[in-house]
Structure 1
Amino acid sequence: MTPADLSRTVLRAVRRAVDEDALRAPVPARVRVERTRPGGSGDYACAVALQLARPAALPALEVARILRERVASEPGVGRVEITGPGFLSFTLDAPAESDRAVLDAVREQGLAYGHGDALRDETLRFHHVREVRAAVTADAVRRLVIAQGARARVSCDETSDPDWARLGVTVDAHGTPPAPLTGIRPVPAGATAGELLERLGPDAARWGLLRPAGHDRAVLGPELLVQGEANPLFRVRYAHARARALTRGAALLGFTAEPAAYGDPTPYGESHAAYGEGPAAYGAGPVPRVGAARPLLDLIADHPGALLSAARHRAPDRVARQLEAVAHAFFGFHDSCPPLPAGDEKPSAAHRARLALAEAAGTVLAGGLSLLGIRAPEHL
């Protein structure tokens, strides 16, 4: 179960409680769940009972009890506790089951993993001035909100720059409707769409315009074209290309990806070194289960929430930062736990599980780049 799945599960519990007249309160548009802070109880926590207590005219602890009864039996939820003044704390099913469910979802949904219908009831109109960064930002925002189920149109106050189309920008109408996108810092004078395309090409230009927050200065220098670790765009696209290369390499070796089996205590076959701890560290507590894979698994599980947050805040830069984090975690995992066997080593269940995780990372990277309007080549 992903955080987005858990949020929807809690929201369904609220609706059911209201429908059954166990709770008399307006159903919120969404329910926010967050990872439990260090020292807290469970995997995720939610404050929805405190939010509903006043309109329901009930103590928050009573609201939490009503909701716990309706969430505890849901698939994927192992345990629900009430903590503090009325927080709901959720412990999900065994990590192997949760992780496999995430990887299965990525495989089934492909590039649409993380898309949803949270904004399905919204019809949005975005307006921008005749300036290249505003145009590219509006286009990316439209892609994000449509991926969350909204209907969206974009207009410009003047006739579009013909070069915008080469940057992947579409404008539906011209004029001045009432809700302009604000807070977008223009590019320096002279950095038109045509000039950026000639100097950087469409992919690097879009990344340079979208990666900084809208109010920050766009970075549009030659560093965007450097094929090295210092260039975040290159790292993201190289991580995707490397993931695809692993699939091709596995095919040549005669094996395919297979998410870890439920209950496997060491699904990625990691050594103690992969955990960053020596063997003596294990005497004080349980052995970590997936070590170097954990950051990457968590980022993939959180990806739907990151996309929804970017759509709600009209912030494509959040997607770019999410992709950078996935790429960084991918390389850390790849280097600690190579998905392909070396030398005369035979492909094992651990290799198949590692390959499944690498493929999921590649899919997430390609899908996120697509929402930014940037290509994800399979070869670099």
Structure 2
Amino acid sequence: MTPAELSRTVLSTVRRAVAAGELGVEVPERVVVQRPPRPGCGDYATNVALQLAGAAGRPPRQVAEILSRRLSAEPGIALVEIAGPGFLNITLDARAYADVVRQVRAQGPEYGTGDGLAGEAGSVAAEDGAVRAQAVAEAVNRLLRAAGAAPGAAEERVTAAEPQDDPSARLGPDAARWSLLRPPAEDPPRTDGTFLAQRESNPLFRIRYAHARTRALLRNAHDLGVEIESTVDDPYHHPAETELLGLIADFPRVVETAARRRAPDRLARHLERLADAFLRFHDECPALPKGDEKPSAVHAARIRLADATGIVLANGLHLLGISAPDRV
């Protein structure tokens, strides 16, 4: 279950509560669900109860209790808890996580694309000679297409804090593009040699290394005879697995938000978080059998999760105009 699917589920829950006379409100067009700011607060959180409370003439917590009872019965949802004045913290069940992995692997390069901006025509442009603004404009246009916007006349111009010179000759095209896109447009870019360093302090290296490790795991799994494909639901329970899965599931929403805000830096930061989560998963959840250990369903499930991670990392880098090599 992706955040977009969960958002539709929450919205449907509100609609049914209104139809049943439990809430006297106008059903909103959209409901926002987001990853919670800290662990232990479920997989996703929404403040829809606080948004509806005023119109409903009820305390937010009462609205949350009505929605919580209905949401808890929805397929794919394991637990709904009420936090603070009325936030709903939602935990997905294992089947919902398995569905995310299957969806990513089935869609491949198309995962992350959507129709959130369908019906809108949008393109952006940059002033001639503006190196960074041009890189931002190219990335934004790719994001707009990925979010469903149709190409249109470039009536909108993007601006960005420009570097003193074009860093491409010094850094190469990929590192230069990352250095220009990673900071928010209003912040000055760093165009020194940091992004050439093959070490953990370089976020682009971490992302590309994480992607390369996912490809290496697939190759090694094949050599070790791990049966990757399975019809059995994947047993994802370890915190490192669920954190990684949440970020994978959130990828389509991040792409759409980055397109709406004309902010490719949002996608860049998400890829950093995804790479870091994968590297934790890689260390804490062995995906390959060791020594005389026989391949198991757990190994196969983790290889599938690694594969899905690699697909998302590559898709995100390509939206930024950056290559995703299988080996680094």
Aligned to 1:342: 290
Alignment pair present for 1:46 and 2:22: no
CA deviation profile, 1:67-105 (whole Å, cap 9, x unmatched): 557645432124556666654443433xx2232122112
Contact 1:100 1:259 (8 Å CA) reproduced: no
Displacement of 1:43 in angstroms is 4.7
CA distance in 2, matches of 1:252, 1:217: 46
Unaligned runs of 5+ in 1: 156-176, 268-288
Q: Which residue of 1 aligns with 2:158?
A: 181
Check 1:314–1:256 CA distance in 2 against 1; reply closer, same or farther (3 A cut).
farther
After TM superposition, give the deviation of residue 48 of structure 1 in Å. Answer: 2.1
In structure 1, the partner of 2:264 is 316
CA distance in 1, matches of 2:274, 2:38: 22
- RMSD in angstroms over aligned alpha carbons? 3.2
Aligned to 1:133: 132
TM-score, with structure 1 as normaliser: 0.73
Matched ranges for 1:92-107 at <5 A: 92-93=92-93, 96-107=94-105
User: Partner of 1:8 in structure 2?
Assistant: 8
The residue type paired with residue 49 of structure 1 is A
2:214 maps to what in 1? 243
Q: CA deviation at 1:262?
A: 4.2
Distance 1:206 1:74 in 2: 43
Superposed displacement of residue 236, structure 1: 1.0
- Percentage of matched positions with identical amino acids: 52
Aligned residues: 327
Displacement after TM superposition at 1:374 (Å): 0.9
3-state DSSP of counterpart to 1:90: strand
Q: Is the 8 A contact 2:176 2:191 kept in 1?
A: yes
Kept in 2, the 8 Å contact 1:139–1:154? The answer is no
8 Å CA contact retained: 1:203, 1:375: yes
| Structure 1 position 116 matched with structure 2 position 114 | yes
Give yes or no for contact 1:235–1:327 (8 Å, CA) kept in 2: yes
Mark the runs of 5 or more structure 2 residues left unpaired by the alignment: none
**Structure 1 pair 149–28 and aligned structure 2 pair: CA distance change class (3 A):** farther
Alignment map for 1:1-380 (pairs within 5 Å): 1-14=1-14, 27-35=27-35, 43-55=43-55, 71-80=71-80, 87-93=87-93, 96-130=94-128, 131-153=130-152, 155=154, 177=155, 179-182=156-159, 184-188=160-164, 190-191=165-166, 196-258=167-229, 261-262=232-233, 264=235, 289-380=237-328
Distance 1:364 1:49 in 2: 32
Call closer, same or farther: CA 1:150–1:29 in 2, change over 3 Å. farther
TM-score (norm 2): 0.84
Assess, with a 3 A threshold, how the Cα gap between structure 1 residues 154 and 25 changes in structure 2: closer, same or farther: farther
Q: For residues 170-209 of structure 1, give each alpha carbon's deviation from its aligned partner in whole angstroms, at most 9, with x where no partner exists.
A: xxxxxxx4x4324x10121x32xxxx44333321221111
Give the whole-Å Cα distance in 1 for the aligned partners of 2:33 and 2:278: 25
Residues 13-37 of structure 1: CA deviation (Å, up to 9, x unaligned) = 4456678898775553421123457
The one-character-per-residue Cα deviations of 1:215-259 (angstroms, maximum 9, x if unpaired) are 112122233222222322122112111211211122222224257
Name the larger-Rg structure.
Answer: 1
SS in 2 for 1:124: coil
Q: Secondary structure at the match of 1:123?
A: coil
Secondary structure of 1:45 counterpart = strand
CA contact (8 A) 1:236 1:323 kept: yes
Does structure 1 conserve the Cα–Cα contact (< 8 Å) formed by 2:147 and 2:256? yes
Q: Which residue of 2 aligns with 1:166?
A: none
